[in-house]
């Protein structure tokens, strides 16, 4: 508690399930937080749910693919708090699934605009404050989809580009005291992904393919973000922290004889899938 006292943290995509969890964790640790999201109504709901003094937060609604909006966000952050210590580029879109041969330019452009260009604009504009103060930490939310193709060609490409942006920022701005790292979530239960887990067969499959035998929670990702943003990661720069329960490491295990998989321990613990199903369909 208090690890971010006096720090100003800007979180994009703040009103989503993952973003909201990060907002609460940073506030709990003493940070002043700028909540950024496309929708004003969702931002209002989030801010009203936070049990913190009004002066500890600032809500900003706007389309981050618009360069003017991002410039205004940086100016407003500077006017309100005077500095920016942490930027979390969390805003994103899944991109419509479909075959590459039928991928429309509009879907491609929109997915890259939200997942990559907006992150670049936020890094550039909010990073100017970090450059002036010779310190700062940027955490980009990438994805295991950057490593392994899924059903949305544009999504994986945009997240791979975000990882490249992370490495470039880390190297160019490292001498200025600014660190840049990325977090790549695996299967995580969030508002954006909830539709996938409403299908019990898909939920069971993804659980079986994850060595830890559970779907991730928003708190799993938030914990990784706070680590990379904090002093405990002061010498971590240009790195990707994969938070996927071991999913990316497991493909070769899954093409072995079932009896030999996981050293003979391939079956999930009793009742685990049932608990996952109840969690996925719970109103909470």
Tokens of 270: 């009793």
Q: Which residues pair with 188 in a beta bridge?
A: 216
How far apart, in whole angstroms, are the C-alpha atoms of residue 164 and residue 262? 33
Q: Which residues contact 263 (CB under 8 A, 6 or more apart)?
A: none
Please report the DSSP string for 215-278 in residue order.
Answer: -B-HHHHHHHHHHHHSGGGTT--S-EEEESTTGGG-GGGGGS-GGGGGGGT-SPPTTHHHHHHH
The CA R_g of the chain, rounded to the nearest whole Å, is: 19
Give the catalytic positions in this structure: 155
């Amino acid at each position: 508690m208090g690890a971010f006292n006096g720090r100003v943290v800007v979180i994009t995509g703040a009103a989503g399930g993952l973003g909201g969890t990060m907002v609460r964790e940073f506030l709990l640790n003493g940070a002043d937080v700028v909540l950024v999201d496309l929708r004003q109504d969702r931002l209002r709901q989030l801010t009203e749910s936070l049990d913190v003094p009004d002066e500890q937060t600032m809500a900003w609604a706007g389309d981050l693919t618009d360069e003017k909006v991002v410039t205004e966000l940086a100016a407003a952050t500077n006017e309100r708090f005077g500095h920016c210590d942490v930027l979390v580029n969390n805003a994103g879109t899944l991109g419509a699934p479909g075959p590459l041969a039928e991928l429309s330019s509009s879907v491609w452009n929109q997915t890259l605009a939200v997942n990559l260009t907006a992150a670049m604009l936020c890094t550039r504009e909010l990073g100017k404050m970090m450059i002036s103060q010779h310190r700062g930490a940027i955490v980009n939310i990438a994805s295991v989809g950057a490593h392994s193709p899924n059903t949305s060609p544009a999504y994986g490409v945009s997240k791979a580009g975000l990882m490249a942006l992370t490495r470039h920022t880390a190297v160019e701005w490292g001498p200025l005291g600014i660190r840049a790292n990325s977090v790549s979530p695996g299967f995580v239960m969030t508002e954006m992904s909830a539709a996938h887990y409403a299908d019990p067969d898909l939920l069971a499959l993804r659980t079986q393919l994850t060595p830890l035998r559970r779907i991730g929670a928003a708190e799993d990702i938030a914990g990784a973000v706070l680590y990379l943003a904090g002093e405990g990661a002061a010498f971590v720069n240009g790195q990707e922290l994969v938070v996927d329960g071991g999913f990316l490491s497991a493909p070769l295990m899954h093409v072995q004889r079932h009896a030999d998989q996981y050293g003979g321990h391939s079956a999930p613990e009793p009742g685990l899938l049932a608990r996952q199903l109840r969690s996925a369909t719970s109103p909470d």
